[in-house]
Structure 1
Amino acid sequence: DPAAVGQREAATKEQKLRADLRKQNVPDMQLNTVEVVDELIQSLRERHELLVQQPRRTCTLPPYPRVDQEILGKLGHLALIEDDEVARVLSWHMSGDMDCLLTLTTEAAQRIYAQTNGQQQLLPLSSIFRRNLSAWNKPLPHMINGRPWFNVEGNPVYARHLLIFPKHQEHCQTVFSQLLGDAIILDSLDTANRYRQEVVKSMFCPTLLTRNGERIRSNGKFGGQQNHAPLLAKLRGAVFGAPLPAQCQELSNQIGYLQELRSAIEQHNDVQRELRLHVDEMRSPQMKQQQVELRDSEQKLRSLEQKIGEAAAPITTSRDPHHHPDPRIPP
């Protein structure tokens, strides 16, 4: 029965969505009607909006108008950083690049250069020599064949891996690889110095930055005002912004699954309604009468076929053995 098959398929889809919701930490026990699901969706949307409206770190550099698709934006606007201390040291380390406008082509950069009388700093992607760029996910210097070759402190991580790119991810990875190189972030100046001491025994050590705002240059120099990051407030808005709280994405995922569940419940209800109508129709007096008439017709047909068979039997079985048909007459 197609109606019963549709009902089973709708029920299976709904159960799968309920399992997905449980994985998203949404209890599904009470979500049995469209109205209840709508109430929960509205509640989650309100919570999401409150999180979005909360104040968070933003880059306040004036954006450059995107008059065409060849303008990607200023570097300070292209990346986000979750941790305040990392945002402070990286924004300061890249302070000379934050206002730089990224374009796809040199031609676009030249047009903007002329329009701004040479005042706008520009970087065309087409001018980057990509073969010299480090692989984005290459191992840290202390890792060989998947294992550290000395005792590591300070939680080292490539600075580029702490950047979040909301848009143009591939282009952003290219340009930030060019500008940041293999700069590494560690917890403190002490752990950074010890890290460098070990690395330079075997290879070149890149610039090291610390979460409390210190810098050891790739040539080994550290200390002094030029190697210490100021407070975030003194960077005058030339800072990488913060992403939305992680809970925003979680709420968005939950809302998406709930909207799918709402559609599945509606579909399930529609199929059940059709199935009930079909069952009711099958049980109606008219349908019962048709079924009786059908059975009577089938019985009459079987009886008629039996009589025809009985009447035809003597004709086919009784033949005169002495009769010889005229060979000129076809049988």
Structure 2
Amino acid sequence: ILLADPNKPMNLSVKYDTNARFPAGGTFPDFSVTVLSEEGSQIQTFKPADLSMSLWEKGSATQPETVRKAIPKHAGEYTVEFALQSNKTEDQLRTQINIKVVANEPIKLEPECQLETPAVFNCRDISNRILVENVTLKIMDQHGNPAGQDLNGKVFISMKCPDGEIPRSLPLFKDKNSHVQISLKEGTANIDSLAISENSPGENGRRYILLFRPEVTMPPTSLSPFELPFYFYNGTLYKLHLITNEVKDTTEKEISFRNGLKHKGLKIEHQLSVSPYIAEHLKQKNVEVENIEKSIRRVCSIPNQFSGPDILGMVGHLAFVADDDAARVISWHLQGDMDCVITTTTPAAQKLHQKTKGNQQVMPLDSILLHQGSRPLPHIKYGRELFRPTGNPVFAKDLLIYPYKESCDPDKLTKVFKNLLGDTILMDDLNSATNYRKEVVEKGIFCPTILTRKGDRVSGRGKFGGKNNRAPSIDQLKVFGAPLPPHYYTLKDQIDALREYQALVEKKEEAEKELNDHKVTRFDEMLQKNTEKDKIDKELGEIEKELGMLFPFSDLIYFKFCVTQTTFSF
């Protein structure tokens, strides 16, 4: 029979006031922890230092924090763990309780998230007059926890100057109101949009305070208002400042871009107005492009009638070959593949095959497996030539030029022709081709098929000669088209650059015109105000003469002062 050990701890018993509140940042109530033995009796031989108390928020990945008296400042659900460890050789004895930390006393009104200091401009555009937008204010405790779920009332919004400053004028809210009020329900107030009025008073460049003052029914304590500083700018002066900066910015960009055009072979002379000059330059470049496009050049005669998201196109239309001799022999070598349609997927190839009732040959890219990387020509090993060949050997696939189209992925086209041509070589003539093959084979290296610019073919097995190994004339073949000359793409690049430059110059000239118009308007406004002032001074002078006959001099000065003040305040 095993007897319970009265000295062996088996359990921890925790007692506390289960009705107690756990206010954020407050103090924990007293916890009474008893160590119970195997037989259920209390053990009193342990030191207080052997007992620890830690806590962590539920769902948190942070390490448990050892605590003493202070309740966490963040409201939420927590786990409190009590642990006993009398020595390092024994496992800790643990027990846990769950508590809910609630908000402390409500003391202030705060936004849910921190707000940036807004700047508003006295102008017509409402978007530039908005102080706050889509903001939620809540009654909080001193630690930032929402604490006014049972509070209802109003939030009164007004403006003031920073403490100690005397305002000459304060901005007004929309519709010329000095105060705005919004509802406060369950400790929350939502603001969709709050803006100053058009033509609002206010001092240009001055810092003001937006004051949000909560008033609730049966407040628990006095609630501190929320203050948000903002800057007020006169729309006219600020717009003048913005336009001036825009002119400066666009001028710097125009100069920088103009210097960059030199690298594209374009030289733009700085003139009073460069827009007509650019337009003329663009016209000349476009004429050159049209002439090149209309010029006669070799084209692929195979109808390209298949297109779609998973179709690259026919082999004959997927590349160009610049040299006529190379185009003739490569096209002849691939004559059986020139009208093959390349698709990106096998299902697309199967669908096209069914659609054409099996009459159209197809090749899906996802069924092609090629060796990675590129091999050198057979006479090159480890970067060194094994012999000095004649006839200018090159890989045939390296003579292909791919179209400048977004739909033509060079990597996919490279895969297509690497599969069709493999390591086929192109050389100048049959004599150099056969000698090249002989030298390569003698060194124990495999030699691929060799084509010649004269139209001959030496197969990978060494066979040449006869009608089957001689290409017919180019007019009897379906051949690859000739690419547009490099100058064509230079012109297109220059046209794009000129159009971008033209847009930049037009933006700059528009900003300069707006700046000049704004300066003229500003001058006219100031001139009109001076005229009105002169008119008022003249009227006051006439009144002064008339009154001088009726009143003593001292009374006249007092009357003039009153009239002057009244006139200018109006």
TM-score per shorter chain, which class?
Answer: 0.7 to 0.9
Tell me the alpha carbon deviations over residues 278-306 of structure 1, each in whole angstroms, 9 at most, x when there is no partner.
Answer: 6667878939x99xxxxxxxxxxxxxxxx
Residue in structure 2 matched with residue 225 of structure 1 by the alignment: 467
Residue in structure 2 matched with residue 248 of structure 1 by the alignment: 488
Work out the CA distance in 2 between the residues paired with 1:8 and 1:188: 64
Pairwise CA distance, 1:113: 2.8
Residue in structure 2 matched with residue 14 of structure 1 by the alignment: 254
Work out the CA distance in 1 between the residues paired with 2:298 and 2:525: 73
The verdict on how the C-alpha distance between 1:3 and 1:86 changes in structure 2, with shifts beyond 3 A counting, is same
1:185 aligns with 2:422: no
Tell me the alpha carbon deviations over residues 89-143 of structure 1, each in whole angstroms, 9 at most, x when there is no partner.
Answer: 1000001111212223333333333333322222222222x2x4353x4432333
1:153 aligns with 2:390: yes
Aligned with residue 312 of structure 2, among 68, 72, 83: 72
Pairwise CA distance, 1:274: 4.4
Q: Indicate if the aligned counterparts of 1:134 and 1:181 stay in contact, CA closer than 8 A.
A: no
Aligned with residue 46 of structure 1, among 287, 292, 295: 287
Residue in structure 1 matched with residue 513 of structure 2 by the alignment: 273
1:111 aligns with 2:348: no
Q: Indicate if the aligned counterparts of 1:158 and 1:185 stay in contact, CA closer than 8 A.
A: yes
Q: Which amino acid is 1:185 matched to?
A: L
Work out the CA distance in 2 between the residues paired with 1:142 and 1:282: 81
Pairwise CA distance, 1:275: 4.6
Work out the CA distance in 2 between the residues paired with 1:78 and 1:13: 40
Q: Indicate if the aligned counterparts of 1:134 and 1:182 stay in contact, CA closer than 8 A.
A: no
- CA RMSD of the aligned region, Å? 2.8
Tell me the alpha carbon deviations over residues 29-70 of structure 1, each in whole angstroms, 9 at most, x when there is no partner.
Answer: 26651111111101111110111011211111122332x423
Q: Which amino acid is 1:119 matched to?
A: N
Work out the CA distance in 1 between the residues paired with 2:398 and 2:359: 31
1:199 aligns with 2:437: no
> More strand by proportion, 1 or 2?
2
Aligned with residue 259 of structure 1, among 484, 499, 516: 499
Q: Indicate if the aligned counterparts of 1:75 and 1:98 stay in contact, CA closer than 8 A.
A: yes
Work out the CA distance in 2 between the residues paired with 1:184 and 1:119: 31
Tell me the alpha carbon deviations over residues 263-288 of structure 1, each in whole angstroms, 9 at most, x when there is no partner.
Answer: 1212222333345456667878939x
> More helix by proportion, 1 or 2?
1
Tell me the alpha carbon deviations over residues 188-236 of structure 1, each in whole angstroms, 9 at most, x when there is no partner.
Answer: 223323332332214211111122212111112222221121111011x
Work out the CA distance in 1 between the residues paired with 2:311 and 2:424: 27
Q: Indicate if the aligned counterparts of 1:140 and 1:157 stay in contact, CA closer than 8 A.
A: yes
Q: Which amino acid is 1:211 matched to?
A: R
Work out the CA distance in 2 between the residues paired with 1:9 and 1:152: 60
Work out the CA distance in 2 between the residues paired with 1:100 and 1:165: 17
Pairwise CA distance, 1:71: 2.8
Work out the CA distance in 1 between the residues paired with 2:439 and 2:247: 67
Specify the SS of the correspondent of 2:253.
helix
Work out the CA distance in 1 between the residues paired with 2:352 and 2:343: 10
1:133 aligns with 2:371: yes
Specify the SS of the correspondent of 1:242.
coil
Specify the SS of the correspondent of 1:140.
coil
Work out the CA distance in 2 between the residues paired with 1:80 and 1:226: 25
Work out the CA distance in 2 between the residues paired with 1:266 and 1:107: 51
Work out the CA distance in 2 between the residues paired with 1:274 and 1:115: 62
Residue in structure 2 matched with residue 102 of structure 1 by the alignment: 342
Work out the CA distance in 2 between the residues paired with 1:203 and 1:233: 37
Q: Which amino acid is 2:435 matched to?
A: R
Q: Which amino acid is 1:28 matched to?
A: I
The verdict on how the C-alpha distance between 1:143 and 1:5 changes in structure 2, with shifts beyond 3 A counting, is farther
Q: Which amino acid is 1:14 matched to?
A: E
Unmatched 5+ stretches in structure 1: 291-331
Greater shift, 165-174 or 274-283, is seen at 274-283
Q: Which amino acid is 1:94 matched to?
A: L
Pairwise CA distance, 1:78: 1.5
Work out the CA distance in 2 between the residues paired with 1:140 and 1:11: 54
Residue in structure 2 matched with residue 208 of structure 1 by the alignment: 450
Work out the CA distance in 1 between the residues paired with 2:278 and 2:331: 44
Q: Which amino acid is 1:18 matched to?
A: R
Pairwise CA distance, 1:180: 0.5
Q: Which amino acid is 1:133 matched to?
A: H
Q: Indicate if the aligned counterparts of 1:78 and 1:172 stay in contact, CA closer than 8 A.
A: yes
Q: Which amino acid is 2:376 matched to?
A: P
Q: Which amino acid is 1:176 matched to?
A: F
Work out the CA distance in 2 between the residues paired with 1:266 and 1:194: 65
TM-score by length of 2: 0.46
The number of residue pairs the alignment matches comes to 285
The alignment-based identity, stated in percent, is: 39
The verdict on how the C-alpha distance between 1:284 and 1:159 changes in structure 2, with shifts beyond 3 A counting, is same
Aligned with residue 55 of structure 1, among 296, 321, 331: 296
The verdict on how the C-alpha distance between 1:264 and 1:224 changes in structure 2, with shifts beyond 3 A counting, is same
Work out the CA distance in 1 between the residues paired with 2:421 and 2:372: 10
Tell me the alpha carbon deviations over residues 230-275 of structure 1, each in whole angstroms, 9 at most, x when there is no partner.
Answer: 111011xx11111222221111111111111111212222333345
Point out the structure with max Rg over C-alpha. Answer: 2
